[in-house]
Structure 1
């Protein structure tokens, strides 16, 4: 019997290694949507679609108005434009595919596409938190240092702050995708979720996933803790300054400039906290409730943010009215 040469054995070993690497993850996954509500998904999609249409239309209108009106090229409105862009990317990353699952049962998603969706959703969730933090800083400098506000938050500073928030999200979320790409997945490729949520994908991995879970927790905790701390400290200092103002009219005016931002912050962080707590501690809560809350957590802020700012901000209300008059609406 002929003994294979060392070169042939090395080649065979290399091919085996390549094959095992190529088979370490499935070519695609199957997203179920909302397990337990398969029959109701078709009807649930309609309010989700309406919310998505409002989010897209509202945030695009905000971006157009802020871009075209030079009088709105101030830190507050530039940060609002960042928030509107973030909301557009965040909602578009999940809703079109989710509606395809709910209406047509099109749950197949490629492995790379799943990682891309996961990256955009988690990255821009972190970016949204960072933009809300930057907007709190803007309100702090506007109320506590009104004469120096424009010099402290100049255009280069606003641009740098927005770039840092985006870079932070990329640097934190990229390793999550890299770690998943290096893992070996089991034959079971069904994701019990309506989008590629990190922990839902991790459950399909056949290897030890403690590093993935720990990194995800630490990353989310670091982002949320830093941003919430800055927001709380900013508004604590704002409250102290406002309460020292001589007239109630001045106090009301100062508070009014912060109401819109507070109304945007609360839905985002309250729903995020509820999602986190139900995911880690709410084991008695049905799975479809977990997934519905996770969906609303990503969809409600992009929907309500342009409505809140459009109704609460006088300058934006005026510009929107003018835009509609020009279009004959």
Structure 2
């Protein structure tokens, strides 16, 4: 008898905030049962991303002031109550995994049975049905179980059919990184007249932002490690600046219309220096450290606009799926791991060895 028939599945659970020891691979997890308006999804693949790692190590806690690698060495030891992205305590054990590509294999009441067999992507940031307003959201693998298991369940309307020749491994590289990038680019209304500087450009979100900004006709300047310059140029960047050097060595002050920032850290002020008068700055990450020094006079004297980008309207993911189906964007998968290799995958991710995405192959 199969584990599905027995009501069990394999998966990885997070037992609390901390280091890699908090991730446990188990082979007899209870199988999810779809409730009304939900579907049961056989997970084909799940991506590795900052959101899941930051949640595991409790990096979102206000007690943390260092970069992600500094905290990730051991993780928080106090099981911080504000360690999730929402600031609310998490319920452990939790199955993480914000990125999920899979197939609908069963439906709950109120869902058309014709949806069984659809290959889908699950929207990682979803509307919280218990609270009103689009800024009341939950995230896959944070406030609900995610894709680091053989099966998961989700609201039917948050499961988007994909019509693409891409593999499920490739499709799983899109949801979290590309929706984060598209949300930033959409918020600042990047267009064909813009010069856009993107930090962390070799990572999942950064490499996605290059493609999505180029899709809108913008000129892209990418900041990444010297060793990754060629691969970032291959993604579509027009110019690459070495992360190891001052941005101002090779980029003039007031020469950039938009900054898409995923890094922050000690060199943050240089990003503001290169922005033109009335430039736009968007941020959705701070892997080099969340505490920066700002001269408020620069903000108002240059008439700048700052955008903090987390919450996403459904239109962002709808557009992303359309880009995928139309072949307008391409996946950038650097390495594939088995689900049981999640600790190795997250270690490689933190070491920033690869350009683009790392993906777990979950179900064959």
| TM-score of the superposed pair, with normalisation by structure 1 | 0.26
Q: Name the larger-Rg structure.
A: 1
The one of the two structures with greater contact order (alpha-carbon pairs below 8 A, sep at least 6) is: 1
Q: Which has the higher strand share?
A: 2
Q: Which has the higher helix share?
A: 1
